[in-house]
Structure 1
Amino acid sequence: MRDQIIRLILGDCFEQLRKLPDASVGAVVTDPPYFYGFMGRAWDKSDDPMAFHRDWLLEAFRVLQPGGIIKVFSGTRTKHRLEAAIEAVGFILVGECGWLQGQGFPKSLDVGKAVGEHLGAEQGPEAQLFEGWGTALKPSFEPFCLGRKPLT
């Protein structure tokens, strides 16, 4: 791999990282699940997000060369857990950057729908009182965490 300047690997991070030799990669850039339960998708749910992050971060740490950089996209409401996992496996947090967007896809709870489901009448008058209400701000900022593997 040393003769390649850039090698883009697309696939499940657990499978792909395990195929790589120790200290063979200069940078890892990834966008793991944020665990918001995005649109009810199974891939964005976890009983233990910290364990999920720890497992793949340990593999990323193994394959990164000393001084290698990791850039991990996250969500504003779960970034703190990701940063804790990054530090726990041995990376040094270098900073934070992010995308600032004019528009963002809302990832909040639909209060009207939740009230309706709780009461067993999705379109009942109680649910209609909360129609259009959500529980989170519109996500215009998508942070990414920057870490570095120590030199020794």
Structure 2
Amino acid sequence: MNKDFLNTIMNGDCREELKKLPDNYVSACLTDPPYNYEFIGHKWDDGEIQRRMERVKDSNTLVKNIPYGSGLAGGIRNKSWYKKNRENIVDYENWCADWAAELFRVCKPGATVLVFNSTRTVAHVQVALEKVGFYARDIIVYRRTSGIPKGINMQKKLEQKGYQDSEKFKGWHSCLRSEWEAICVLQKPLKNNYTETLLEFGTGLFYTEMDNGGFQSNILENIKRDKSQDYNVHCTVKPLELMRRLVEIFVPRIKGSIVIDPFAGSGTTLVAAKEYGIDYIGIEIEPSYIEIIERRLSEVSD
């Protein structure tokens, strides 16, 4: 086994960095790529994120920790709007397929891949990864502790416009309260069957026994949020408890197991892997985040 990559963070675009890894090398992938909020055509680095966050800092926007940027959020729903919406989706899907193709190559047969995404676009991520050879297994529901309605309150909208009888539209909104996040579960095809794949590659299975003796479901809830670390300025940090649960369920805890995160962010996947004594590889395009990852990893006892 090539050990040069183990327990390291590679700095760069994962589409290029993944090419440096050997074939059939990693046992699992847990990753949280940028969602499709007008992502295409922008350099997704810390400068871009901060620019978007500045746009909502003093606004009435309820969610201020997520980078603003979707030009598709408003506007007149005419033919041009829907055309732009569709083009954006296709571009995002193609971008996902670009990095997924290299990820497929470096995964062992039976390796499980988990990709976070929004409820609106997780289907496009699944399709992109299926195009390059992965097999769709499930969608995990990560139920957050709260959710905020982000659409139009039609009663208030009509009141602002001076319409009479606006109260008739009390309770009518343009969306539901968003309370869960999707985690797409895919797998590189097995070698003939689960038993043969397990014995040769140590992959293919999910750990389903819960602490209370129950059988693990595909809904994860009651996950506590972490206390924010002053030095961790990443805007979308996943709870460490959540990543621990995902590592426990989907990453083989055996000798030679490797988990990869091509969009390492602030390194929560890698921290969880290190806590379990599992070798990891992180890839992150933003250099300033690597300092955060290394600091967090240094706080985990070997």
2:22 alignment counterpart: 21
Contact 1:94 1:147 in 2 (8 A): yes
Give distance in 1, aligned partners of 2:148 and 2:104: 32
Query: Quick one: structure 1 residues 19 and 111, their matched pair in 2 at CA, closer, same or farther if it must change by over 3 Å?
Result: farther
Q: Is the 8 A contact 2:152 2:175 kept in 1?
A: no
Find the residue that maps to 2:111 and give its secondary structure: strand
- Alpha carbons of structure 1 residues 151 and 9: separation in structure 2 relative to 1, 3 Å: farther
**TM-aligned CA distance change 1:149 to 1:98, over 3 Å:** same
Please state if 1:137 is matched with 2:180.
no
Equivalent pairs counted in the alignment come to 133
Q: Measure how far apart 1:21 and its partner are.
A: 1.3
Deviations 1:69-95 (A, max 9, x none): 101011100111111112111111111
1:86 aligned onto 2:86:
no
Relative to total residues, which structure has the larger strand share, 1 or 2?
A: 1
For 1:29 and 1:140, the matched residues in 2 are separated by 21
List gaps (5 residues or longer) in structure 1.
116-124
Q: Distance in 1 between matches of 2:7 and 2:141?
A: 23
Query: Residues 54-93 of structure 1 correspond to what in structure 2 (within 5 A)?
Result: 54-93=97-136
- Letter paired with 1:39: Y
Choose from 138, 149, 157 the match for 1:95. Answer: 138
Q: 1:53 aligns with which of 91, 96, 107?
A: 96
Tell me the TM-score normalised to structure 1 length: 0.69
State the alpha-carbon separation in 2 of the partners of residues 72 and 54 from structure 1.
Answer: 13
Change (3 A) 1:69 1:63: same
Measured in 1, the distance between the counterparts of 2:120 and 2:8 equals: 29
Instruction: Note closer, same or farther for the CA distance 1:2–1:27 as it changes in structure 2 (3 Å cut).
Output: farther
Partner amino acid, structure 2, of 1:23: N
AA paired with 2:69? G
| RMSD, aligned α-carbons | 3.3
1:25 and 1:2 map into 2 onto residues whose CA distance is: 11
